[in-house]
Amino acid sequence: ILYIPAMYDGNTDVPLILNFHGINSNANEQMQYGDFRDIADTEGFLLVHPEGTLLNGEQHWNVGNFKTGSTADDVGFTEALIDQLANLYAINLDRVYSTGMSNGGFMSFLLACQLSEKIAAIASVTGSMTPVTYNACNTQHPTPILQIHGTSDGVVPYNGDTWTRSIEDVISYWVNYNNCDTNPTITVFPDIDPSDGSTVEHSVYV
């Protein structure tokens, strides 16, 4: 599903954001759930919500040992999608970004590793890197990363599992690859709702 802001006129190259859904979700749900349309309207970027392959009743992105039996070439699909959109619209190919929820976050990391010539930066919400993605990562340029994750996540464990690397491992990989300072600047946000059982820390590596 492609969203084109009203200000787009085709005369100026604009950024493109890929917004990937989680497992067993779909493009329409992600458009509603991780909704960037208002921001696209004010900032002027194109926004596309790809839809994954159906396997055993679940929509998914094939990111390696995440969905057993998948043969989908989702990196190739994404590359073709970017190329097709660039043929149809005025897109700044130096400003193509990927974000996603859960399995869509894993997909964004996979693109940073395997399609970095087309991806400028990524943001992952509750995603991570599978061991397959982590061990075979071959990114071609320093890549800004935003990772949003709960330490008590019961679906994608913060401390990792056999099928997913820990968030600390993931951050360490990109901090080292991007040659950042290993000592982050940490901001502790005010706990404005003590009843929700959560607190927020923001760590920045530059």
- Give pLDDT tens digits along the chain (206 positions): 999 999 999 999 999 999 999 999 999 999 999 999 999 999 999 999 999 999 988 999 999 877 778 999 999 999 999 999 999 999 999 999 999 999 999 999 999 999 999 999 999 999 999 999 999 999 999 999 999 999 999 999 999 999 999 999 999 999 999 999 999 999 999 999 999 999 999 999 99
Per-residue exposure over 148-164, b if at least 16 CB sit within 10 Å of its own CB, e if not: ebeeeeeebbbebeebb
3-state secondary structure of 147: strand
Model-level pTM? 0.97
Torsion, Cα 113 114 119 120, to 10 degrees, reads: 30
Q: Do residues 147 and 83 touch, judged by C-beta distance below 8 A?
A: no
3-state secondary structure of 12: coil
Q: What whole-number distance in Å separates Cα of residue 48 and Cα of residue 82?
A: 10
pLDDT at 113: 98
- pLDDT single digits (tens) 53-107: 999 889 999 998 777 789 999 999 999 999 999 999 999 999 999 999 999 999 9
Burial label, 81 (beta-carbon count in 10 A; 0-12, 13-18, 19+): middle
Q: What whole-number distance in Å separates Cα of residue 175 and Cα of residue 189?
A: 22
The DSSP call for residue 195 is G
Q: Do residues 111 and 69 touch, judged by C-beta distance below 8 A?
A: no
Q: Provide the token pair at 67.
A: 């969905």
Please identify which residue in the block is written with the tokens 């000592």: 183
